[in-house]
Amino acid sequence: MSKGKRPQRNLPPMPGLGGGGMGNLLAQVQKLQEEMEKAQAALKDEEVTVSVGGGMVTVVASGDQRIKSITIKREVVDPDDVEMLQDLVLSAVNDALNQSRALQEERLGGLTGGLGLPPGLGF
């Protein structure tokens, strides 16, 4: 074998890429990107609702992790105990955002699951 020349190897197709070469891979990535954009747009219209304190504070969040509304019942407003109201609102907002993230992962995770991306890079 001459110096600087490597022997050619026939590599097997990479799993999950369909074996169609670079053009096929690019087409699959483009299709995945289109599906991701559709799913992300649909998440804006989905909502999660969380109530805490026996329904005293209710938070509605969209699937794209935006708080849409906060409802506070009059009975929970006590000028002498503002900390309790703050805790209820904080708890409801955090729960709503956690549910929104779970919804996002459920909707988008299936699209990126087969790519073997590290956590957090799927969407």
Instruction: For the full predicted model, state whether its pTM sits above 0.75.
Output: no
Higher pLDDT, 28 or 91: 91
Q: In which residue are the tokens 């504070």 written? A: 57
Residue 57 lies in a domain: yes
Mean pLDDT of 11-18: 52
Residue 79 lies in a domain: yes
Residue 2 lies in a domain: no
Residues 26-72 pLDDT 10s: 888 888 888 888 888 888 889 999 999 999 999 999 998 999 999 99
Residue 65 lies in a domain: yes
Residue 33 lies in a domain: no
Domain count, the chain: 1
CA 82 to CA 96: how far, in whole Å?
21
Residue 69 is classified by DSSP as: E
Mean pLDDT of 83-100: 96
Residue 3: band (very low, low, confident or very high) from pLDDT cuts 50, 70, 90: low
Residue 28 lies in a domain: no
Q: Is pLDDT at 122 greater than 60 in this prediction?
A: no
Nearest Cα to Cα of residue 54 among 82, 76, 27: 76
Residue 75 lies in a domain: yes
Domain of 91, CATH number, reads: 3.30.1310.10
Q: Which domain holds residue 102?
A: 47-112
CA 78 to chain centre: 37
Residue 23 lies in a domain: no
Q: Which residues contact 15 (CB under 8 A, 6 or more apart)?
A: none
Helix pair angle (82-112, 21-43), 10° resolution: 150
CA 76 to CA 65: how far, in whole Å?
26
